[in-house]
Amino acid sequence: MAAQEKRQPVDMPPLPHELTVTPEEEKKKIDNLVILKGMLTSPDDEAFDKLRTHLLEKISDGNGETLYDVGIGADDAVSGLPTEEYEASVATLRSLSDTIEADCVLLREKQLKSGIQGQFLVRRKADSQDFMEVRVAVVGNVDAGKSTLLGVLTHGELDNGRGTARMKLFRHKHEMETGRTSSVGNDILGFDSQGTVVNKPDHGHLDWVKICEASSKVITFIDLAGHERYLKTTVFGMTGHLPDFTMLMIGANAGVVGMTKEHLGLALALNVPVFVVVTKIDMCPPNVLQDTLKLLHKILKSAGCRKVPLLVRNAEDVVISATNFVSERLCPIFQVSNVSGENLDLLTMFLNLLSSRTLQNDNEPAQFQIDDTYQVPGVGVVVSGTCMKGVIRVNDTLLLGPNGLGDFIPMPVKSIHRKRMPVREVRGGQTASFALKKIKINEVRKGQVLVNPSLNPTSCWEFKGEILVLHHPTTISTKYQAMVHVGSVRQTASIIAMDKECLRTGDKAVVHFRFIKHPEYLKNGLKMVFREGRTKAVGRVLEVIPKMASLQQQKNHKLMKMVKQNADGCETTQTSAVQHDKQLSDGCDTTQTS
């Protein structure tokens, strides 16, 4: 009897008056009804419309995609649907997807005693003007196989063991000769709505426009340098390009060496989720591979990281790690070979399931940070970077700055390109390139911003930040100078004052900085990296001191200095006069005595 009661489908509650409440409560009720397994099985027209609206909201929240569970109980104690109900629910989900021009793809399916469970990916079909974008920073020690793996993933051809795959990505002659990346490279991997890779190289070269037109989601790899000599370039890539995730690469034969810990610490300091890829497993002895994995687990579980490592072995592990990855605690570990192709399918599946961490806030005033500038023949000045907030459209007039004087000038946007493809607009969280009107290349630089005039932006020479010193050979005191990275801003700053006499490794303090060359545009709460040689500190911006206020402070400081100097001069004059009078009186006394 009890078994029969369990098998009975849950009756769907009446919808008309119950769900006409606040949108949040309605969404929660529909979620519960879907989980209770009754709503997807045989919905009437009204229920179907509400399910369609619910699915649209979930896709909008997920920037174009969402994961949908079928047959999972509310408390997960009794889960699974009988075969007929499960098939009916899946058919309903596919019909819902068709009505909103999306594809429904099965990720995993489980056969339990109580029935069947399934997890589906619902993703919008490719749009020629818009696609999801996820940025992944690729870091790791030199010779870990970063460029080789990206060459294999993006071009679909395995490496020959001698570096042919990486040659397709290098930008400079010296990189080809040494095999070492020295600049920030960009490579893309496109997925359609079914989760299939759309990269098809034409005579060894990728046509980015064709890839973007056929893709629903594009993974942008930010290929960073592994050598210590190029650390400043790597730091700029991590702060200026705003990656959603970090792919930390480790050579199985070399282990956790060199810059690996530096790059891991940088990702942790910037709160970027990390997943690990162990390469070269085809040439590494099993005992060495085990030692590398043991050390890696130990580092990830240490007090500084506090991660939960998960060794990915099959497709189910991929789905579990991808769905729980945004929490930042989980750290999936992949073991791959670029020569044999082992486990590359699992890594590709994981990349397909990654979703952008940037929330699209279209209603806020537009803000765009510049991370590179170009002079294109026949076009003029082109700037590239990331749209932080709002929507920017062709022919919009934004404020460009700050210039050397700290001012912002009106600047019309002539055209917009995303991944070399012309588009009409760009939204928050997306990277793009703008062609600007009536400006010279020497008037734009990295670190400047394009903002909506309604923000009324102000530049600053000085700011206060809270920093934690990760490493310094001696002590840091006032007048110490080092390179400050805040977003795409990269400039030397001097310490004017701090709330401690001196700082050593492990110390934390509130520090007052002043830029050396020119004013910058900063916002409170931004992450910052402070470095000079082997000195490294991380923190955040606490207070931005506007240009006029800092100039007034400087005037007051100079005035106080002059007053002090005058006071010291007066004291010196008075002292010398007293001494002179004393000498005269002593001389007179001597004359009278004689």
Query: Is residue 99 assigned to a domain?
Result: yes
Q: 3-state secondary structure string, 520-559?
A: ECCCCCCEEEEEECCEEEEEEEEEEEEHHHHHHHHHHHHH
CA atoms within 13 A on the CB side of 528: 32
Residue 575 lies in a domain: no
Strands (DSSP E) found in 314-377? 330-335, 367-376
Domain count for the chain, please give it: 4
CATH of the domain at 509: 2.40.30.10
Give the position of tokens 């790597």: 234
Residue 20's pLDDT is 40
Strand partners, 486: 489
Task: Please name the amino acid found at residue 526.
Answer: L
Q: What is the pTM for the complete model shown? A: 0.82
Residue 329 contacts residue 307 (beta carbons within 8 Å): yes
**What's the token pair of residue 577?**
């006069």
513 contacts 494 by C-beta, under 8 angstroms: yes
- How far is residue 81's CA from residue 71's CA, in Å, rounded to a whole number? 5
190 and 270 in a common domain: yes
Whole-angstrom Cα distance, residue 209 to residue 206? Answer: 9
Look at the block and give the residue holding tokens 């991590």: 238
Q: How far apart are CA 594 and CA 289, in angstroms?
A: 103
Residues 269 and 410 in one domain: no
- 261 HSE (CA, 13 A, CB side): 13
Residues in the chain: 594
169 inside domain: yes
Report in angstroms the alpha-carbon separations of 558 from 238, 294, 362, 519, 552.
Answer: 39, 59, 46, 20, 10
State which of 528, 548, 568 marks the end of a domain: 548
Residues 403 and 516 in one domain: no
Pair 431, 515 in one domain: no
CB 219 within 8 A of CB 136: yes
| Residue at which a domain ends, from 124, 148, 164 | 124
**Residues 215/191, Cβ–Cβ less than 8 Å:** yes
Pairing of strands 481-486, 489-498: antiparallel
- Considering the domain architecture, whether residues 53 and 96 belong to the same structural domain is answered as yes
Each residue's pLDDT tens digit in the chain (594 positions)? 444 433 333 333 333 333 344 555 555 555 555 544 456 777 888 888 888 988 888 888 888 889 888 876 544 444 778 888 889 989 999 999 999 989 999 998 888 888 888 889 999 887 756 788 999 999 999 888 888 899 899 988 888 776 667 666 665 666 555 666 666 778 899 999 999 999 987 766 788 888 988 899 999 999 888 878 888 888 998 999 999 999 999 999 999 988 898 899 999 989 999 999 999 999 999 999 999 999 999 999 998 889 999 999 999 999 999 988 876 789 999 999 999 999 999 999 999 999 888 777 788 999 999 999 999 999 999 999 999 999 999 999 999 999 999 999 999 999 999 988 999 999 988 999 999 998 999 999 999 999 999 999 999 999 999 999 988 888 999 999 999 999 999 999 999 999 999 999 999 999 999 999 999 999 999 999 998 877 789 999 999 998 776 555 665 655 666 666 666 665 555 555 556 555 555 554 544 444
Q: In this structure, are 256 and 344 located in the same domain? A: yes
Helical axes 344-353 vs 315-323, angle rounded to 10°: 30
Answer whether residue 583 is part of any domain: no
Q: Of 353, 385, 404, which residue is a domain's last?
A: 353
Closest CA to 489 of 338, 370, 321, 311: 370
Angle, helices 45-61/23-35, rounded to nearest 10 degrees: 110
Decide if 592 is inside a domain.
no
Looking at residue 2, its pLDDT comes to 42
> Domain for residue 571, yes or no?
no
Residue 30: inside a domain, yes or no?
A: yes
Predicted confidence at residue 209, as pLDDT, reads 87
Nearest residue to 132 (alpha-carbon basis) of 56, 220, 218, 208 = 218
Residues sharing a CB contact under 8 Å with residue 225, sequence separation 6 or more, in sequence order: 180, 181, 182, 183, 184, 231, 233, 234
Written as one letter, the residue type at 407 is D
Tell me: do 145 and 240 sit in the same domain.
yes
217 and 86, same domain (yes or no): no
Q: Are residues 117 and 264 in the same domain?
A: no
Decide if 563 is inside a domain: no
Whether residue 478 sits in one domain with residue 378: no
Scored b (16 or more CB within 10 A) or e, 251-271 reads bbebbbebbbebbbbbbbbbe
- Which CATH number does the domain housing residue 196 bear? 3.40.50.300
H or E element that contains 294: helix 286-301
Determine the structural domain holding residue 379 and report its residue range: 367-455
Q: Do 150 and 272 have their domain in common?
A: yes
Scored b (16 or more CB within 10 A) or e, 365-402 reads bbbbbbbbbeeeeeebbbbbbbbbbbbbebebebbbbb
Same domain, 402 and 424: yes
- Name the residue among 136, 137, 127 with its Cα closest to residue 59: 127
